[in-house]
Amino acid sequence: MIIEQITTLDFSEGLKKTQTVIVPLGAIEEHGPHLPMNTDILHAYEIAKKAAEKLTVFVAPPINFGVCRSTADFPGTITIRSSTLVAIVLDVVEALYNPGIRNFILYSGHAGMNHVAAMLDAADQIMKRYDDAKFSVITDLELTDAEFFKLVETPADSHAGEIETSLILSLAPELVGELPEPDFPKFPKPLLVKDTRKYWKSGVWGDPKKASKEKGDKMVNILVKNLIGLVEEISR
């Protein structure tokens, strides 16, 4: 049940069958010269919708804005403060809890550290408020398994590389441009840098040229399967 596509009556009827929701999150941020800036939202929302085709679960509209650090200097990235994301998650969960949702899977296609920390912060705050609610805070990583990583050829593939390019080739191939060369940026650790683009020209972290639609189809299937497993577990 895709919440933005059903009526309030459908929602009430649906609550008799399930009290579980997947809330997709993501970010609008640069994803190299070849992937759309909604890459993280697009794949999380599509994977959630595919799961909802196979079992009864609510899927909330995605929370489109996220907390971005390393990509923040690239034109078009729209980052929000961690406190803003915490506030949005708290409000969305409360609005879904009130009519009767009890199990919340916060599933982010964007895995920036500050972003995930804000999601966890929000979940921690709400868990204390509601005794009868269950929460899971995940990124794609928690939905991967050994079978998934057998498909990946690039070590340390992390942003707009083999994995994300394969996912978008599977889910929205019309949005994928010419695949760029691999890049593995080196930042002066442990220092924090103000101008990330000085160290990272391409906006790619990994090897997009290793991506394919076939790999993407298999990756999507695995992520959907493991998300369904999580829905079943949290709904028990």
- What residues make contact with Zn ion under the rule CB under 5 A? 39-40
Nearer to Zn ion, 19 or 108 (CB): 108
Name the minimum Å distance from CB 181 to Zn ion.
18
Nearer to Zn ion, 14 or 66 (CB): 66
Nearer to Zn ion, 40 or 46 (CB): 40
Q: For residue 198, give both structure tokens.
A: 């000085």
Name the minimum Å distance from CB 56 to Zn ion.
29
Sign of the CA dihedral 176, 178, 181, 183? negative
Name the minimum Å distance from CB 40 to Zn ion.
4
The bridge status of strand 103-108 relative to strand 58-59 is: unpaired
Alpha helices in 98-182 (DSSP H): 113-129, 140-143, 146-150, 162-171
Name the minimum Å distance from CB 220 to Zn ion.
15
Nearer to Zn ion, 101 or 163 (CB): 163
Checking 91-97 for CB contacts under 8 A at 24+ apart, the result is 92/23, 92/60, 92/63, 93/23, 93/122, 93/126, 94/126, 96/21, 96/23, 96/58, 96/60, 97/130, 97/133
Nearer to Zn ion, 37 or 105 (CB): 37
CA neighbor of 67 nearest in space, from 121, 31, 112, 122: 112
Name the minimum Å distance from CB 111 to Zn ion.
7
Nearer to Zn ion, 30 or 92 (CB): 30
* Burial track 144-177 (b if 16+ CB lie within 10 A, e otherwise): beeebeebbebeebbbbbbbbbbbbbbbbeeebe
- Residue nearest to Zn ion as judged by C-beta position: 40
Name the minimum Å distance from CB 31 to Zn ion.
6
